[in-house]
Structure 1
Amino acid sequence: MPYEPPTHSVERSLRATTGAKIVAGVDEVGRGAWAGPVTVCAAVTGLRRAPAGLTDSKLLTVKRRTELAAELRTWVTAHALGHSSPQEIDELGMTAALRLAAVRALEALPVQPDAVILDGNHDYLGAPWRVRTVIKGDQSCIAVAAASVIAKVTRDAMMAELGVDHADFAFVDNAGYPSPVHQAALAELGPTPHHRLSWSYLDALPRWQHLKRARSAPETAALEASGQLGFDI
C-alpha cells in the first residue's frame, strides 16, 4: 500500500522554534504484549536523507524490517535502547515503566538531545525533557521511524531468545502478544517468568488467577481517570 515517506519537518520546526541542535526520535514496542519487556529506542539522525523504504516498523515485512534495522544501526548519528522488565511493569504500572525505559534509552545516547519527538499524543516522558508529541510520528518523522524499526527488531530478537526455553508459547512468532497459540499455552501451562502478572488476561484463566498481581496505585488511578480500567494497554 502506498505511503508518504517520513521527513525531517518536525526536526526542522524544533530547530527553528526552540534552537534545538540535537533532536532524538523516540518510539516504543511491546506496550500491549502479555509477556516480555517494553522496549524504547531513541535515535538521532541529523537531517540526512533517510534510507529507502523507511517507515513505521508495523508497515514492513519481517525480512525488510530486519534488513532495514541493520542498515539503520550504522546510518543513524546515534541510537540507544532502554527496557523495562515485566516485573517493573507490574510494580510501577505501564506509564511509569515506559518512562523508565525511555529515560534509560535517552541517557544511554552518546550525545544528549536538546529535544525529543515522541510517537503518539501522550507525553509519558515529561520534564526535564523538551518533548514534542506527534501522532503517527513513526510514519511521518524520520528519527521516530528509525527508532520504531530498531526497537521492533531488537525486541523481537529478545523474545525469540526467551522463547527457546518456552517453545509452547511461540514467542518467536508472536513476540509475547496474545496469539491463539500463546493463549492456549497460557491456559494449559500458566504464565512464565516473562509474563506480566498485573495484566487482565489472568481474569479469564481461573486456574492461574491466584498469580495475578494488583496494578500499582498510580496506574489504577490513571486508568480510572481515562476509563480504561480492566483493559490491557
Structure 2
Amino acid sequence: MLVAGVDEAGRGPLAGPVFAAAVILDARRPIAGLDDSKKLTAGRREALALQIKAQAVAWRITWSAAAEIDRVNILQATLAAMREACRGLAVPPGLILVDGNRLPTGLPCEAHALIGGDAREPAISAASILAKTARDAWCLALHTRYPLYAFDRHKGYGTALHLDRLAEHGPCPEHRRSFAPVRRSLQDR
C-alpha cells in the first residue's frame, strides 16, 4: 500500500502563506537522513529536498495565502493546504499519515494523525522538508519585494528584528492581519 506523509511549514509566522506537502516515498529507493525539518540545517534540507523530488513516487506542495489565513484562521488554512496537497498527488495513496493531532476533511483515502510524525515517519519527514524549503524560498523571494522587513533573516517569524521592522514600517501586504502583533501595528498607525 502506498503511504503519503503530510506536514506543514509556517503556521506561526506573522507573514506569508502556510505551506503543506504530501509525499509518497519509494520503498525501493530509501533516502538516508530524513528527519523533522527543524532538526536539519538549511543546506541539508535543500539537498534532501532535491533527492525527495527526484526519488519519490509522488509529491505535491501547496499553500494557503495570508489573506486566506486571515479569512478562515490558521488551523483551517493549514488543513485546506494539506487536503489540496493530498488530492493533488499524481499517484493516489492508500493511506495518509498527517503530522499532528488534526486531520483535514475530504481526504481521498483512510488517514491517521500522528503526533511527532515528522520525526518518526519517513514520509512525513520528507513532507516536512519539502514544505519548509518551499516556504523558505518564498520568504527569500518576499525579501526582494519588501527588503525593509528582512524576511531573508527571520522568514516571517515574530523575532525581535521582525517586530522592530513591523513597528517601524507597519505591515506589508503579505502580513497576516489576524495575528495579534500585526493587528496591533495596524491599530498603532
Q: Same fold (TM over 0.5)?
A: yes
Runs (4+) off by over 4 Å: none
Distance 1:49 1:179 in 2: 39
1:174 aligns to 2:162 (yes or no): no
Aligned partner of 1:153 among 112, 133, 142: 133
Amino acid at match of 2:111: V
Structure 1: gaps of 5 or more residues: 1-20, 212-233
Map of 2:171 onto structure 1: 191
Distance 1:150 1:203 in 2: 30
Distance 1:182 1:30 in 2: 15
1:107-130 residue CA offsets vs partner (Å, 9 max, x unmatched): 22111222210001222x134442
Structure-1-length-normalised TM-score: 0.76
Map of 1:113 onto structure 2: 93
1:209 aligns to 2:184 (yes or no): no
Change (3 A) 1:203 1:83: closer
Distance 1:203 1:41 in 2: 29
Distance 2:99 2:117 in 1: 5
Change (3 A) 1:146 1:107: same
Structure 2: gaps of 5 or more residues: none
Aligned partner of 1:126 among 102, 105, 123: 105
Instruction: Report the 3-state secondary structure (helix = DSSP H, G, I; strand = E; otherwise coil) of the residue aligned with 1:27.
Output: strand
Shift, 1:47, TM fit: 2.4
**Structure 1 range deviating more: 167-176 or 41-50:** 41-50
Distance 2:161 2:63 in 1: 25
Q: Superposition pairs for residues 72-91 of structure 1, below 5 Å?
A: 72-91=52-71
Map of 1:70 onto structure 2: 50
Shift, 1:151, TM fit: 0.8
Map of 1:22 onto structure 2: 2
Larger radius of gyration: 1
Structure-2-length-normalised TM-score: 0.93
Amino acid at match of 2:62: G
1:134-188 residue CA offsets vs partner (Å, 9 max, x unmatched): 1111111010000011110111001110111211211112111112211111001
Aligned partner of 1:40 among 13, 20, 25: 20
Map of 1:100 onto structure 2: 80
Distance 2:29 2:113 in 1: 22
User: Matched residue pairs, number?
Assistant: 188
CA RMSD of aligned residues (A): 1.6
Map of 1:53 onto structure 2: 33
Query: Which structure carries more relative contact order (alpha carbon 8 Å, separation 6+)?
Result: 2
Q: Is the 8 A contact 1:168 1:182 kept in 2?
A: no
Q: Is the 8 A contact 2:29 2:55 kept in 1?
A: no
